[in-house]
Every structure is written in structure tokens, then in C-alpha cells.
Amino acid sequence: MDRHTLIGAPRELHSERLLLQSPRLEHAEAFLHSLNRSVPGLAFITWGQQQRDPAWARNFCLGGQRMVEDGECLIFNAFLRASGAFVGRIDLHSFDFEAPRCEVGYVGDAGHQGCGLMREAALTVIAAGFDLGLARVQAMSDAKNARALRFALSLGMVKEGMLHAYERSPQGALCDMVLFAAINPRAR
């Protein structure tokens, strides 16, 4: 597994209720609307600390598209198949191709909380990563982010430990991070 694996990876995934697509300029408006209405619940997301404008959203989507095209990461915007409504963003990033492993990140639309849609989206993306040859997908969450901790466990991830004073929160304070992992059953 290497960058070329990511460059050749599918840009569209399907699940029972969702269409997942790599970022595109035409996603910017739906992403912006979702982000701006979800800001109150995004205290742990660096880029989710304030309302954003259409230019920022276009640049964010185009930047994500470039990172995917360059094989830096895989990013998927999730939409309801029935209505086209934006559900959230899931990404695989921080790849170590030698291991092979990466981290998963996810940010859901506040309007779809409690429906299991982000869980469905994240499981679909993690399975796609395993199909590409990943042995391990990690999630790291601020120890104070109770919702993210529960979400990682709902994905079947195992809590592996606590990383003390590991990074700075969006507000600038040193924070502890909890490490979770899912292991590809075919990797052993």
C-alpha cells in the first residue's frame, strides 16, 4: 500500500441509505449549510469554531479534492440517497503505509443526529480502507469529547489507551487524547 493506492481508490461509495463522494466544488453549499448550523456542537473541531462563508467552503472542498487527488488522504462527503441531504464528512488521514494504518475523522450534520447515518457512513469508509489493504484504522478523540468517545465504541473500535498532554484543543489548551482502533480481520 502506498500513495498510488489512495490515488486509485474509489471516489464514490454506497451504503444502504447513503451516497458517499469525494469532495467536489458542488458540495460546498451543502457543506457550508451543515457546518454553520452545526457549529454549536463542534467545540472539538478546529475548523468548526465559527460560522463560515461560501468562499471558505469552496476553498475547503477544493482543498479536500486536491488532497484526495494527490493521494494524501481519502475524504468522503455523505448524502442521503433518497433526498440528497448532506449528512457529514468522513476522512481517512495520517497514513503510515508501512504498517499499513491511518486515522479516521468524522463530522456529522447536527440535523441528522441520532439516526445512525454517520455510523453507517464511517463503517462504509473504514470497510473501504480495509479493502484497500489497511491493517488498522485508528480514531483519536479529546478525552472530554464524550460524544466522540461513544461514537468510536459504536463503530466496534477498541479503546487502547490515553495519550496525556498529546495536543492542543481548538481553544489552545493541552488535552489528553483517547486512542481507539479497528483491526482488519483479514490482516492477521
Cβ 174 vs Cβ 149: under 8 Å = no
State the greatest distance between any 2 C-alpha atoms of the chain, in Å, as a whole number.
46
**Greatest mean pLDDT among 45-49, 152-156, 167-171:** 152-156
What gap in Å lies between CA 51 and CA 36, rounded to an integer?
A: 5
Q: What is the arithmetic mean of pLDDT over 162-183?
A: 90
Q: Quick one: pLDDT at residue 50?
A: 81
Q: Percent of the chain scored above 90 by pLDDT?
A: 75
pLDDT at 47 over 80: no
At 41 the pLDDT is 78
Q: How many CB atoms lie within 10 A of CB 91?
A: 22
CATH no., domain 3-183: 3.40.630.30
- Give the span between the Cα atoms of 137 and 146, in whole angstroms: 20
Are 177 and 166 in contact by the 8 Å Cβ rule? The answer is: yes
Per-residue pLDDT band for 172 (boundaries 50, 70, 90) equals: confident
Share of the chain above pLDDT 70, in %: 99
Query: What is the Cα–Cα distance from 167 to 103, expressed in whole angstroms?
Result: 15
Kindly report the backbone phi and psi dihedral angles of residue 47, in degrees, each rounded to the nearest multiple of 5, phi listed first.
-85, 5
Using DSSP's 3-state secondary structure scheme, residue 136 falls into: strand
Where are the domains positioned within the chain?
A: 3-183
Report residue 179's pLDDT band, with 50, 70 and 90 as the boundaries: very high
What's the pLDDT tens digit per position in 98-111? 999 999 999 988 88
**Coil, strand or helix: which one is 174?**
strand
Task: Establish whether the linkage from the previous residue to 100 is cis, with ω within 30° of 0.
Answer: yes
- pLDDT confidence of residue 150: 93
For the cut 90, the answer to whether the pLDDT of residue 113 exceeds it is no
Distances (CA, A) of 124 to 28, 79, 92, 144: 22, 13, 12, 26
Structure-model confidence comparison of residues 188 and 144, the more confident one: 144
Cell of 42: 463542534
What is the pLDDT at residue 167? 85
Which pTM value belongs to this model?
A: 0.93
